[in-house]
Structure 1
């Protein structure tokens, strides 16, 4: 009786499905669009799986009918039921759907469970869409899946611990360019046929899973651009088929494993922008590499001879402890001058001691003389100022018009280099901003000329996004730089209701038309660099924005903090908090279970802009990485923002590259 009943229900279901298609074709008003009757009939279908004629249109409807797949319509009765096999997104075998290629189709909804009603699916490619939410466990039911690409979407959260419930036939698995966090699940070892595992450009933390070493058929492993730390897995000799290993832009440390030299198929090796220590194993020199990048680490010792005539200096940059026999590679030439030094005779030693004593006494006297001279010069008054105009206002002004207004009541900001004043000119009632760079030791002639030359160049710039530099008032120990005054204050005041001047968003002003203008040209750093010690105490900047080592990548670090302020709504340095924004953001990304989207400012977080906001947040995180060499250059930052702008439809083609 049970078999008879099931058979009857199945028969009735097939009649109902066929009637749905008849209803659709009789009520279709415009080709390529689901009629309201079909939508109603689909809602009333309770029996699954749907017939093949309806499965793909139902999937389209679930995703709110993206225009790019508008041609997915049920085939009419008594027609070729395999018409879907002609659609460019569909791959078929004997009329059965085996592949979905939905790249860049503006899909915004989650992956439905009934996608696996396509029982013969072996490939799903959903890259470059806007699919949100956690990892899609609905795909566990696609038991024949061999290729899965979820890259460049809005997935968040952790990879579930039971991810091994995905098809055991899986060969390629791409999760790159999402917002996945936490450690990568350890339940990966069941995929014996896996050849490619890509997890790049996410926020994964922890160590590289040991389970990855069990994939003997793996050919490509690129988990670059994450927050992985610790050592490489110890047992990597099983990667006999591996051709590409890219672990760049992480926080891996320890020595470079000599076992890498035992991977016979490896041709591409990228360990750049990490914190690897020690020497380059000579075993790696035995590999037949076509691409090698070990730059921006902490490696030391001699570069293996096998690499010196094969790779360029770009493979070894920013490893201050490396040396080479070939000067074209960039690092210093290796020397054995300390290895073969002979013993010093007692007579020669005595002579050296005498000379050293004389030099020490001379240095002491010279130091005393220099200190006395500097102290005298520092206490000399600024008796003479020189005024130079670059861009005139409606009426000219004198040094006295500026100097007389440099009072505490007129201070509108301050920073490491001095204070900024709001000055109303008596002669015309016009307002200017004056930055005072004070307590500068008397500069040598070349540095003075360099400073004035840069001021003169900046004074000739007329740009809609640059604050006009009007004039410079100079003396031996004080430089006054006169700018146009921006009545709408700074970006900082609009974000947080507070004014200040520093290397920060306070230096991004807003004029009366709400055009953003850059107002910090780094002129103070020229004077500080040459006029004072090259230490942290001499660096111009504000806590929260300036990076710890302040060197080459200070611009990227500071700009990254501004990006984080924009998307989180937090201040760079909260008075009542124990850590600055940069430390908070780094710690947030490293904590297991934190969702990336939850860090965004609730006041401006809208679903339509989540992709852009998360992209900006990730860029900010990359800009504040601990090692300067791991941060992107400002040129790279600009390119990322331009790409994001183009993808969002905001243009960006008119951005000037300066």
Structure 2
């Protein structure tokens, strides 16, 4: 038996008291950490999100994690940090976790983190970092397990030194601007479980075979990284792989059989590459949730083995060259949500059990060669949102069950062979927003009330009949050409709040007047041609913008149609007013001409126009000197012909009367001469003095065709504001009379039209 001294209880109490006393070292450490945090807050301009950082216990501050009263973690995500990371951040000696994601931190990679010797997790994602990753990044803590730099602006190479972080499990470099090479040394990270480098513009590169050493890899994201070449069969040796994304690259060759033997694979995407050959038939990926092999050059049939993937939710093989039928087992998968098989050469009937066993939401099989009917059970679970099956050989009508498919939002069945009446309840489905069923053989009438959610309705090239319902005013797009609709366009179509931007009712049997309210719509497209409309085109639509919108409506009249809208009571003033104006203009022109004759003096200022038909050996002076009455050969209404003698030959020269080049007019004033006089009156120049090279008429026409303002050509001496309208009118009439092909007289209708518009 051990003899315990009687003073033992005293020593026990003494030591208990001693250990209960605070030590000065711990107190100093606490003060230092608090000081560093407050200094950080000040460095980052006191973000409101960390306003709790004050003199209270710092382990309770926002974003601060403590272990044994020492700071081990900073989670300061999305707190609006806009300044650089200060070098003293690693004075917090026990930091193991730093998360500064979703901020606005600028600058290059902060080498200050090299001093965080215990760091295990560093998340700098979603910031504004730039420049290359430092070549000596391996100076980060050797205990680092997770490095997240995604969604920044890092560029250059992926440094080989990253392969010297032996305990790294997660490496995320996705969505940066890396534009050089990718280090194969990453294959040395034997503990790596997740690698994300997607959405970077590396130089063209192949998947390194060294990746086969990453035996613990579970996630591999390499989408949109400029990969080329074939997929190494060694990737099929990564047995722990759960998610594999190699989409949006330029991979070629066939899909390795080994990839479909990865029993832990849940997500698999080879979307948008240049892969060829058949899909491997041996499917052992029973845990597969989503597969996307779309936009490649795959051929052959869809493997029956996909039907064994009972967890499959999204099945996407669109835009390939697959043929044959869809295996019936695909329609029996209990977890299937989305099926996208469009743009292939698939044929046969659609498995009738689609939608019966699963919560099917999306069914897209357009642009194939399917026949038969749509599966009646597509909306059996009441969750179908989108049905896209256009451009097939499908027949029959819409499934009757669609009347109760309240989830349905978009239906596109155009360019097929569907027929029959559309179930009445279909039109009023509460979530229905897009219906495109053109180019089929549907018939029947549209109901008076359409779904309030419906925005786009395209039913052209069918056999719908009856009246157009007034509720189409709530649509954005309504295309119903080539049907059998009759009656009038609803008056409320253009009422306030109307949303229509596209309206096509061409080739129907619609009649009556076109509602003027249509003008109030913001229409980007309007076609009402080939109907039986009558009356006048609404004023706002009677212009060149809609010049082809009303063709082949014999009862319509308008400015751009052959049928004008002049009624008999309007005809008399339409004739009398222009006629009186013309007579007045002629009288003024004659009066001005007489005054013009009296003030002109001098010799014959006639100009001559010579047309050379062959090379001659005499000059214009030789010709002008021989234009005398002694050499006259003949004369007529359009000019005189003279004999011109030279030393070697003789030639006949015709002197043409063209009043645009003369200031003398015969008493017989033709239309051209009348126009010249009008131009002289308002321009204030003589007929042959348009400018240095042209006559007056040519000069005036050139001014007009070049888009110059008429007012700039008018005579400054008489151009007064009170006369401007009249002077512009005379100028325009002068242009009409001096056109490039003047006639003996302008048609009376043209005068009437001109003056009716001008007055």
Which category describes the TM-score, using the shorter chain as reference length?
0.3 to 0.5
Tell me the TM-score normalised to structure 1 length. Answer: 0.44
RCO comparison, higher one (Cα < 8 Å, 6+) = 1
Q: Which has the higher helix share?
A: 1
Tell me the TM-score normalised to structure 2 length. Answer: 0.38
- The structure with the largest alpha-carbon Rg is 2
